[in-house]
């Protein structure tokens, strides 16, 4: 068994006068992927994530615990030389705490298929920058995925309290380079959600990363800006954040 993942703390730094977000404040994320079985290039794993949203708004009288979002997912991936294929069944659960506008637990269960280069995934950042030192990398990595939300009778493995049918997304990451003990890269994530009405909601952000390399992990800072966001449950449009992150 081997576990890899990341922890981040990201306070919002600006954009409060422009955004319509109800959860501007702080975000704390924990993601862990545990490989249970490996056979040749195939991995059977289990994904656990937890996202804590802390708002700073008059609605809650200052800082308050806004929402908890966790994901549990059996995960399969097949690794090729430079890219990989992943299939997962995601149980995403959104629990509102102080936000009156949501009010109900939301289950967003989906079967997801993704394909992309290894360098677009946090699992391979350490590997990427360990073998490349004191040089401009100057190359792009990317991934794309599609998720189908499962409708059903309201069990924990079906969807509840939302009207989304499909989720599409992609990532582009520009590997800038590695100099001395520091690594630099820039990334952009785009996500779209299709509702049963035929309407789309979307999210787009860009992120600049500076990490110090360790023997088995990275620790660093990043700046992220959400230039577009209409996703109702977790909206950060026009918000910029400064974060601390450890990749292990």
Give pTM, 2 decimals: 0.90
Residue 168 confidence (pLDDT): 98
The backbone torsions φ and ψ at residue 156, rounded to the nearest 5 degrees and listed phi first, read -65, -20
CATH 1.10.3210.10 fits 2-247, yes or no: no
Residue 31 confidence (pLDDT): 97
Residue 127 confidence (pLDDT): 78
Among 41, 46, 27, 68, residue whose Cα is nearest residue 205: 27
The four Cα atoms 32, 7, 49, 77 give a dihedral, to 10 degrees, of: -40
Mean pLDDT of 14-18: 93
Average pLDDT for the chain: 90
Give the least confident one: 15-29, 167-181, 186-200. Answer: 15-29
Bridge partners of 72, per DSSP, are 48, 91
Sequence-distant (6+) residues with CB within 8 A of 139 are: 119, 174, 175
Does residue 239 have a pLDDT over 80?
yes
């Amino acid at each position: 068994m081997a576990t890899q993942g990341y922890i981040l703390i990201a306070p919002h730094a600006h954009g409060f006068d422009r955004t319509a977000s109800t959860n501007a404040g702080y975000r704390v994320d924990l993601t862990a992927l545990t490989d249970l079985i490996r056979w040749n290039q195939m991995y059977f794993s289990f994904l656990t994530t937890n996202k804590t949203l802390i708002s700073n708004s008059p609605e809650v009288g200052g800082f308050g615990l806004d929402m908890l979002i966790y994901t549990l997912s059996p995960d399969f991936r097949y690794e090729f030389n430079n890219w990989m294929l992943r299939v997962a069944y995601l149980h995403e659960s959104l629990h509102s705490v102080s936000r009156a506008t949501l009010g109900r637990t939301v289950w967003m269960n989906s079967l997801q298929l993704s394909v992309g280069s290894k360098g677009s995934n946090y699992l391979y950042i350490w590997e990427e920058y360990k073998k490349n030192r004191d040089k401009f990398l100057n190359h792009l990595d990317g991934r794309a995925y599609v998720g189908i939300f499962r409708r059903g009778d309201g069990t924990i493995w079906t969807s509840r309290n939302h009207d989304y049918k499909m989720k599409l997304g992609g990532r582009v990451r520009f590997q800038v380079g590695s100099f001395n003990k520091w690594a630099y890269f820039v990334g952009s994530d785009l996500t779209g959600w299709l509702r049963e009405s035929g309407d789309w909601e979307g999210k787009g952000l860009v992120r600049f990363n500076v990490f110090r390399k360790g023997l088995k992990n990275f620790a660093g800072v990043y700046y992220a800006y959400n230039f577009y966001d209409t996703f109702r449950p977790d909206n950060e449009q026009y918000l910029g954040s400064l974060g601390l992150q450890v990749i292990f």
